[in-house]
């Protein structure tokens, strides 16, 4: 069993998962971050990473967590508007994470990432999951991220941006995670509020 705390959430992966807290991993911190800088005056380049890289039964998962429950109105623009916010941020993090994983195959000190990096070249499709907690309860409002139609719009836009990887992104929350990521449970830490 692997337990990871991220923000106000505790993720518990059962023994069917092999998990790395990727945005804190040395491969990302030492090597990928070294690519940051300016390509020309005023044009900065940065390297990002998803929160978690995980392997379950040969299937590679890239998982990003966003918990906006304490300030749903402040962060609403990050999930609401097409062509920006999380719809761009998550695919960019996936792109950079994939590049970093490929680089891990060439490094002798990345044994914990090797099975995950090798899974990229396997036949199983890559899975991308955005675990998004917004503070909004499910409702018929089509602009509510907990509503299936809204999540579908977000997933389709992210899928287009990630077409080079042939992935089907998922937008999940604590209400629907069990059916898509078996063996993973999420509990709230003090200070988190769960949407009704």
Residues for the chain: how many in total? 196
User: Are 103 and 170 a contacting pair, CB within 8 Å?
Assistant: no
Mean pLDDT score, 157-172 = 90
Widest CA span of the chain, in angstroms? 52
- The mean pLDDT value for 39-57 works out to 84
What is the token pair recorded at 66? 């966003």
Question: Which residue in 2, 6, 92 sits closest to 56, CA to CA?
Answer: 2
Helix (H) or strand (E) holding 121: none
Are 181 and 175 contacting, i.e. CB atoms less than 8 angstroms apart? no
> What's the pLDDT score for residue 71?
66
Of residues 101, 102, 22, 13, the one with CA closest to residue 64: 22
Minimum mean pLDDT range among 11-15, 144-148, 169-173? 144-148
How far is C-alpha 26 from the geometric centre of its chain's CA atoms?
Answer: 18
pTM of the full predicted structure? 0.84
- pLDDT tens track for 81-93: 555 678 888 999 9
Mean per-residue pLDDT for 55-65? 94
């Amino acid at each position: 069993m692997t337990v990871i705390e991220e923000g106000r959430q505790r993720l518990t992966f059962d023994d069917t998962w092999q998990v790395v807290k990727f945005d804190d991993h040395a491969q990302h911190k030492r090597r990928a971050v070294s690519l940051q800088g300016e390509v020309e005056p005023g044009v900065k380049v940065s390297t990002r990473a998803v929160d978690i890289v995980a392997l379950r039964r040969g299937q590679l998962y890239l998982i990003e967590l966003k918990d906006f429950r304490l300030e749903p109105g402040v962060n609403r623009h990050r999930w609401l508007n097409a062509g920006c916010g999380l719809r761009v941020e998550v695919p960019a993090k996936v792109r950079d994470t994939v590049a970093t994983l490929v680089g891990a195959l060439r490094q002798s000190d990345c044994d914990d990432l090797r099975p995950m990096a090798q899974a990229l070249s396997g036949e199983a499709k890559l899975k991308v999951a955005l675990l998004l907690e917004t503070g909004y309860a499910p409702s018929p409002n089509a602009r509510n991220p907990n509503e299936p139609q809204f999540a579908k719009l977000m997933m389709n836009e992210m899928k287009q941006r990630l077409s080079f990887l042939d992935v089907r992104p998922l937008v999940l929350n604590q209400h629907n995670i069990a059916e898509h990521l078996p063996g993973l449970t999420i509990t709230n830490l003090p200070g988190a509020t769960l949407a009704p």
